[in-house]
Amino acid sequence: MSRELMWLTLTVILTGLMWVPYIVDRIAVRGLMGAMANPSRDDKPHSPWAQRLLFAHENAVQNLVIFAPLVLILDVMGRSTQSTMIACAVYFWARLAHAIVYTLGIPVLRTLAFAVGFLAQAVLVLAIFGKL
């Protein structure tokens, strides 16, 4: 497994686990049966941090749709360089930072973490087109 695929795998795992604290909050707020019930407009609202984590998770899924194919295209092309490996690692850490600062409600750092992840994706695009 290439380093890029390893970072993709870790990013998928991170994204796949981000819902767990959100659901724990749902159980704490609504009780176990309330958490398992069908959603209703009358449901008690989640804690503010859990709502932000839900938004961070949705954003992570939306960006995984871009990141994963880029990594897979590079893998099929056999283009693994120091730059692509670093970009994939940076992407993972940027997404983790994004989730944390979004959940904590720190807007400027949230935007910076998102931008770093976007730039890491841009590096992968450049590598696909042989510009790196």
Summarize the confidence of residues 21-33 as an average pLDDT. 95
pLDDT band with cut points at 50, 70 and 90 for residue 97: very high
Rg for the chain (alpha carbons), in Å? Answer: 17
CA distance 8 to 18: 15
Is 98 part of any domain? yes
Is 89 part of any domain? yes
Give residue 31's identity as a one-letter amino acid code.
G
Which tokens hold the place of 33?
A: 């049966």
Is 112 part of any domain? yes
CA distance 44 to 40: 9
Is 22 part of any domain? no
Give me the domain span that covers residue 56. 3-17+47-128
- 132 has a pLDDT exceeding 90: no
- Reported pTM: 0.94
Is 34 part of any domain? no
Is 106 part of any domain? yes
CATH code of the domain in which 89 resides? 1.20.120.550
Summarize the confidence of residues 91-103 as an average pLDDT. 98
Residue written as tokens 């696909």?
A: 128
Reported as type and span, the H/E element at residue 81 is none
Which tokens hold the place of 109?
A: 């750092």
- 100 has a pLDDT exceeding 90: yes
Domain count, the chain: 1
The chain-wide mean pLDDT, for the chain, equals 96
Q: Are the beta carbons of 3 and 88 closer than 8 angstroms?
A: yes
DSSP letter assigned to residue 1: -
